[in-house]
Chains A and B, each alone.
Chain A
Amino acid sequence: MEEIKNPVMDIIAEANRSATSGIDAKDIKDWITISIMGRAYKVPADLTILAAMEYAGYKFVRGVGCRQGFCGACATVFRKKGEYKLQTGMACGTRAEDGMHLAQIPFTPAEKASYDLTKEPYSASVLIKYYPEVARCVSCNTCTKACPQDLEVMDYVQAALRGDFELLATDSFDCIQCGLCALRCPSEIVQYHVAQLGRRLYGYYGLGVPEHLKKRVEEIEKGRYAKALDTVIAFSNDELRKQYVGRDIEPEQ
């Protein structure tokens, strides 16, 4: 197949290279101005919000993780130039745009309930018992609008309220626990904690233990992997790194 040349991608690649590989600023062609927590910064165009903030001098110790949109650590809120809507996203996966106002939301304070799944009934009352604020949901749908994973958050909170564990578990399955829903919720619900409890109850009571897992646990208990594990434990750091880098990776679906 003939390779399609996209000049825009070249420009993005060039800008990224400039920002991250120490190329002199005079060689960067395109610049934008963004406002980080109320202060204007000139940064190379076409960076992610995370890279743009780092270019501007911010150093992240917490509030950053995989840098690939999976871990949910670098939650961000922003308004684009001339728009009133407050938008949300992952700083590592959202492109900075000229005139954007932004700030990082590294964490949404929330208490996680402590429970023993095996001692709870499989009933909606468990969710109300540990998170009674679920009943405060007014179905405004702000959480759904805030979700960077595009989940139907309000629908799963409502499913939690009425004890529909299957819908709760499936609708919340791709949650990365970034906390943006909880931050935006006018009813102060911590959606992702509720969903986690719901998924655990659904997994434990609703689905039961799958056959392949039972089989694998038996194998482990019989010592089938003991020798392989001993070998890995005995590796030097260098050997371990080499094995890790050279491992088989599942192909992209």
Chain B
Amino acid sequence: MNPLERFAIGMGRKRPPFVPRNISCPDCGGKLEVPDERAQLVVCAYCSHKLDLTDAETKVLGAGPPRKWEFPLNIGDRFAWKGGRYEVTARMVEIEDENESEATRLYYLYSPRRGAMWLSEYGGSWDLSTTTHVKPKSNPFVAARGDEIETFDGRKWKWAESGVYELAYVDGALPWLARIGDRHSYAEFAEKGGTRTLEAESSGDEIEIGVVQPLTPKQVAEALGRTDVSPIPGVQAAEEDAGDQARRGRIVIAAACVAALVLNGLLYFWASGRGEERVRTDLEPAAMTAGAETKPFFVENPGSVIKVVLEAGGLSNAWMAVDVDLVRHEDGAEVHSYPATFEYFSGVEGGESWSEGSRDDTTFIKIAKDGWYRLRLQAVSAMGDATEATAAIHGLRVSVTDGAAIPKYFMIMSFLAGGLALVFGFSLLRQDEDDDDDD
């Protein structure tokens, strides 16, 4: 056999079928199936005695939990998440300050191919937690209300709560010897600009950092292959958690921004083409130097906007300065004046052509009173870097459109809407990537 053939696809050994570990309870003789080969603690499903699997021989650790708790999920329930199947192999209840009404129910989700996750429920709100190796830059256990911490991946988190959890109940199989009454410190931080929670837990010889993402009851039910998750008596199911609300809010704002972007874009093109052209004339350089006027044009409505477009088509590596006066035709009174300067340079550098500047100028003028008007123009222009000129050496095309709409406001709105859409779009993407990172 060619040595490399051993590595060809299909040449490896076929995956052996998964076989859960089978044990007998030394106390009651009940047959127990343990999927997680790393399990050290098993609570007998028949007699509730706690069994120690650390060594080859199963030992009885003692009586099980002092009271039964109700759970909407059972040992052995399947949980489908991101292409992998998990199984509930243990359930726990943790309480704080010995207050059983403030109970958090936890489900150990096991997969031999993907590792473990924790599903937890508190007050009808569901969370999914995975461990991370990314560390906070400061000690999370000394943080207090109002404090912020940063993790080494650049994310910022705001202190949410801290305290001490106490284990009140456990059943199923766990990869460590959990004991009723075990305590561990915790500190939780809400992600700034996100929906996740950073959770630090300390049990003395070990510090674990986890990232928690909120799940809706619907997401939990779908992962379990159910239509809903049965509420626990006395616990009101959360309609929608904060994370889902935030996500939905982002989606709504991003969608509104995209709609505004499209609308303003359409309005921009509509405004750009609106109005009726009254004058279009080409002025020679000599006339521009001496001072020229357009034909009179009629502005139909008071408050109408006219669009004045100056185009110096022959401008090349040159500049032009034009004084523009809008005058009333009947008495020559000046209504509006403005200077228009444009320059256009181009060339080839390093084998690549370039250009800068513009050969045209567009100005919108609001006319208070209807009637006849004309434009008076005088210009100078020069080639290259000349800073002064006494005459125009370029011609100019002038056009006037009555009843124009000013499109720049629509353009500004389009930019604003586009920018906001990008911000909220990236925010959604980042949230999705965060969810993917938890794989």
Q: Do A and B bind each other?
A: no
